[in-house]
Amino acid sequence: MSESQNLPEPAAGSAPELPQPLAEQAAEVVSVRRGMFGGNGTSGDTSGYGRLVRSIEFPGQSPRPYGGYFDEVENELFGALDERDLAPERAIEKVVVYRDQLTFHVRREHLVAVARTLRDDPALRFELCLGVSGVHFPEDAGSELQILVPLLSITHNRRVHLAASCPDADPHIPSLTGVYPATDWHERETWDMFGIVFDGHPALTRILMPDDWPGHPQRKDYPLGGIPVEFKGAQIPAPDQRRSYR
Amino acid sequence: MSLDVAQAVGDEMGGQPEEPGAGRTAHDPYAAAGTVGSEEGTETVYTLAGGDWDEIANALSSGEGLSPEDRIVVNMGPQHPSTHGVLRLVVETEGETVTEVRCGIGFLHTGIEKNLEFRNWTQGCTFVTRMDYTTPFYQEVAYCLAVEKLLGVEEQVPERANVIRVLLMELNRIASHMVCIATGGMEMGALSAMIFGFRERELVLDIFEMITGLRMNHAFVRPGGVAQDLPPGAVDKIREFLALMPERMKDIEALCNENPIFKGRTEGVGFLDLTGCMALGITGPVLRATGLPHDLRKTQPYCGYENYEFDVVTWDTSDSYGRYRIRMDEVRQSLRIVEQCLDKLKPGPVMIEDRKIAWPAQLALGGDGMGNSLDHIRHIMGESMEALIHHFKLVTEGFHVPPGQVYVGIESPKGELGCHAVSDGGTRPYRVHFRDPSFNNLQAVSVMSEGGMIADLIVAVASIDPVMGGVDR
C-alpha cells in the first residue's frame, strides 16, 4: 500500500533545515502550566502560588551511544533505510532513549516505510506490533496528537517504539494495517478516542463508543462529565471540576 | 421480532426497475461486507435479530422465489450465554457454516483510561484492577511497573514486595485459566468442567480475600510495592492449596484430556498458525499452541522472574485443544512458581523506602474488610505532627512523576498485557493506555472461525479467552 494518501511530502524548498538525527536536541516543551492549582482566576487561587510557571519538557534527542542493543538497532535501521533510498534524517525526527526504552520519532509520511523496514530487515525483524496508543497534547502546537507504536522482536528479543504525531488541524497518520494487520482494531480505537484518521485503514469506524457518538472522549478538551456528589450536606464537585495540583 | 428488514425493503422496491439485490443489500449494514458464491447480485440477505426460528423458517419458505438455503446473518450476542459476556458476533451463515464473522465490542466500555486522568497516580490502581476482572493483579502490576519506571525507582522496590507480586500473579494465573476452562467447557456443554473450574477458582479467591481483603478488584499492588504484608496464616493457607490443587486438577484432566467428545469439539477447531499469530499480534496460550515458546517471563523478566524455575509450555497443534492443554500445564507451572515464592519470602519491608512515594496509609483487615490501620491513625493523630502533615500532603496531592512516556509489557494469562503511561510531571497520570491481550486477540475470531461450523465458532472464541471487561475497558 502507498504510505501517504493525504499527506503532503514536505517540499524540499520550503521545509526548514532538517534537524540532524544524531545531533543532541533540547528537550521538547509540550506545555506551560501556571499556578499551583486549577483555579481559573475568578474563583481565585488564594494559595499564593498563582504566579508559579512550570514548563513541561519531554526528553529530546538522546546523545549517543545509547547503550545496550539500541545503537545496533539504530545503525541497522538507518542502514536499511538508506538502502531503500530513504534518508534516515528525513524519515526520523529524533531518537529518544528514556528509561531504558528506545523510541524513534518518525515523520508521519514515512511511518509505514520505517515500520516495514523494521519488520522485514533480517537484522531488525520486529515481527510483533503491540498496538497503537494515542496521546493528546493540546498545547503542543503542530503536533497535538501523537501516537506510540510498541514493537517487539521475538527473534532478537528486543523492543523499540515508534512515535508519530500530527497537528489537530490535519489529523491524518498513515495506517500501519498494511504492515502489521494487528493494528486494525488499535487504530480504530485511537480514531474513536482521539479522532486521528489513519489513512489507508480498511474500515476506520468507531469500536468502543456507539457509531453515532459525537466527539472523541480521550481528548483533553473532552469533558469527563460527572455530577457533584452530595455528602452529608456538603457538595463535592465532580472529579474534573475539583481543584488539582499542577 | 425483526426478521428480514432487508427483505421488507426489497419488497417495497419491488415495483422499481432496480438491479435485483442492489436495493436490498444497500440497506443492510452487513450485506455489503462480503458475499459468497458467484450469484452475488441475485441474493437476498436476511438479518436476523431475535425471534422464533419456526417463524423465520416459515417466512423463508413461504416467500415467493425464495429458498431456505439463502445465507443468513445472525446477530449473536451481546446478551448470549455463549459469547463470553457482552461480545456481539455478527455471523453470516450458509446453513450451519460460518462464512463471515465480525465482532462488535464496546458494550462494557467504562472509560477507565479517561477516569484515571483525574485521580492521582496511586489511585490509578483502583481503576486498572477493574479492567480485566479475571486478572486484576496483572493490570495492577503492569501499571505499577510503568509508574515505577517513569519514576526510575524499579531497583528500589523491596525484594519481598516483588515476591508477593509474583506470588499473587501466579495464583491469579491459576484462577484465570480455571475460569477460561470452566466457561469454555460450559459453552461446549461440558458442565462438569464448569463446576470443577469455578470450584478451583474459588480456592484461589479465598486466598486473595485473606491477603487483600477482596476477592476481586484488589488495588493491592501499589507504585513502590504492595499495600501491606501477608497476613498471618496466609502462607499456611497457600501451602494447603498447593497440596490440594494437583489433586483437583486431575478431576478436570480425567474429564477432558482424553474425552472423545471434548477432543472432537476442540481438535482442529479455531486453528491459527504461527504466521497468523504474528500478523495479528497474538500472544499468550494461542501463540504458544503453535509451538513458539514465547513468554515474557522468560525473555524479558520483570519482578524477579529470572530467579524462578519454570518451563514455558507449548503445544504443536495450533488449535483449541492445544490451548486447553497449555492452560492446564501452565497451572502446574504456576503452582511450581508459587511454591518457590513461599520459599523466597524473607522478612522485610513490602513498600519502597522513599516516603515521598510510599502511600502512607497502612491498611489493616478489619471485620468489614480492609480499612485504615488503627496503629497508623494513632501515630499521625496522636504522636507525630510531621507524620500527619506528610500523610495529608501525600494523600491529597500525591507524588510528582517526571515527564515522559514508557511502555511496559508483562505476560498475563491471556498474552502480553501492555501499559503505556504518559506523565506531564504532575501528580496525576496524563494518559494511561492498556494494551489488553483480549482486545488484540479477539481480532483473530474471524480468521479462526470462517469456513467452520457455528458450534466451532463458540469453541474458537472460548479458546481465545476474551474477557470483555479488559477488551472494552
Q: What is the pLDDT of residues A168-190, one digit of tens each?
A: 999 999 999 999 999 999 999 99
CA dist list (Å): B25 to B13, B41, B98, B134: 12, 9, 19, 41
Q: Do A133 and B433 touch (CB under 8 A)?
A: yes
Percent of the residues in chain A that have a pLDDT greater than 70, as a whole number: 83
Q: Do B393 and B409 contact (CB within 8 A), yes or no?
A: no
Nearest to A245 among B115, B426, B472 (CB): B426
Tell me the three cell numbers of residue B334: 504456576
Contact list, A194 vs chain B (CB under 8 Å): none
Contact list, B397 vs chain A (CB under 8 Å): 245
> Which of A54, A102, A133, A180 has the most B C-beta neighbours within 10 Å, making it the best mutation to test the interface with B?
A133
Nearest to B431 among A135, A189, A242 (CB): A135
- CA–CA gap between residue B156 and residue B145 (Å, rounded): 12
Q: Do A130 and B152 touch (CB under 8 A)?
A: no
Chain B nearest-CA distance from A14, in A, is: 31
Per-residue pLDDT at B136 = 93
Q: What is the pLDDT of residues B299-356, one digit of tens each?
A: 999 999 999 999 999 999 999 999 999 999 999 999 999 999 999 998 988 888 887 8
Q: Do B380 and B395 contact (CB within 8 A), yes or no?
A: no
Tell me the three cell numbers of residue A171: 489529523
Q: What is the ipTM of this complex?
A: 0.84
Nearest to B111 among A31, A157, A217 (CB): A217
According to DSSP H, which parts of B152-272 are helical?
Answer: 159-188, 191-212, 234-256, 260-266
Contact list, B150 vs chain A (CB under 8 Å): 99
Among A26-35, A104-113, B171-180, B435-444, the least confident range: A26-35
* pLDDT for residue A205 is more than 60: yes
Per-residue pLDDT at A237 = 81
Q: pTM value?
A: 0.84
* pLDDT for residue B360 is more than 80: no
Better pLDDT: A27 or B242: B242
Per-residue pLDDT at A37 = 63
CA dist list (Å): B56 to A234, B62, B441: 58, 10, 34
Residue in B133, B103, B150 with CA at minimum distance from that of residue B428: B150
Per-residue pLDDT at B67 = 58
Residue in A138, A190, A198, A199 with CA at minimum distance from that of residue A169: A138
Per-residue pLDDT at B8 = 37
Q: Do B118 and A152 touch (CB under 8 A)?
A: no
Q: Do B95 and B67 contact (CB within 8 A), yes or no?
A: no
- CA–CA gap between residue B304 and residue B361 (Å, rounded): 26
Per-residue pLDDT at A187 = 93
* pLDDT for residue B21 is more than 50: no
Q: What is the pLDDT of residues A87-143, one digit of tens each?
A: 888 888 888 888 889 999 999 999 999 999 999 988 889 999 999 999 998 888 888
Q: Does B150 touch chain A (CB under 8 A)?
A: yes
User: Which residues does residue A199 pair with via DSSP β-bridges, in sequence order?
Assistant: A174
Better pLDDT: A156 or B65: A156
CA torsion, ordered B167, B169, B171, B173, to nearest 10 deg: -150
Q: Looking only at Cα atoms, what is the longest distance across chain A? A: 70
* pLDDT for residue B164 is more than 60: yes
Chain B nearest-CA distance from A68, in A, is: 14
Better pLDDT: B436 or B9: B436
Q: Do A244 and B427 touch (CB under 8 A)?
A: yes
Residues 25-54 (B) with a CB less than 8 A from some CB of A: none
Among A128-137, B177-186, B372-381, the least confident range: B372-381
- CA–CA gap between residue B224 and residue B233 (Å, rounded): 24
Provide the mean pLDDT of chain B: 83
Contact list, B300 vs chain A (CB under 8 Å): 157, 159
Contact list, B428 vs chain A (CB under 8 Å): 244
Q: Does B407 touch chain A (CB under 8 A)?
A: yes
- CA–CA gap between residue B133 and residue B470 (Å, rounded): 7
Per-residue pLDDT at A36 = 67
Contact list, B280 vs chain A (CB under 8 Å): 181-182
* pLDDT for residue B1 is more than 70: no
Contact list, B418 vs chain A (CB under 8 Å): 130-131, 150
Q: Does B442 touch chain A (CB under 8 A)?
A: yes
Q: Do B150 and A30 touch (CB under 8 A)?
A: no
- CA–CA gap between residue B431 and residue B424 (Å, rounded): 9
Q: Does B218 touch chain A (CB under 8 A)?
A: no
Q: What is the pLDDT of residues B206-223, one digit of tens each?
A: 999 988 888 889 889 999
Chain A nearest-CA distance from B402, in A, is: 9
* pLDDT for residue B7 is more than 70: no
| A114 CB-side CA count, 13 A | 29
Strands B72-76 and B46-48: parallel
Nearest to A101 among B106, B406, B442 (CB): B406
Q: Do A182 and B440 touch (CB under 8 A)?
A: yes
Nearest to A130 among B281, B397, B406 (CB): B281
* pLDDT for residue B417 is more than 90: yes
Reduced to 3 states, what is the DSSP secondary structure of residue A138? coil
Q: What is the pLDDT of residues B88-99, one digit of tens each?
A: 888 888 778 888
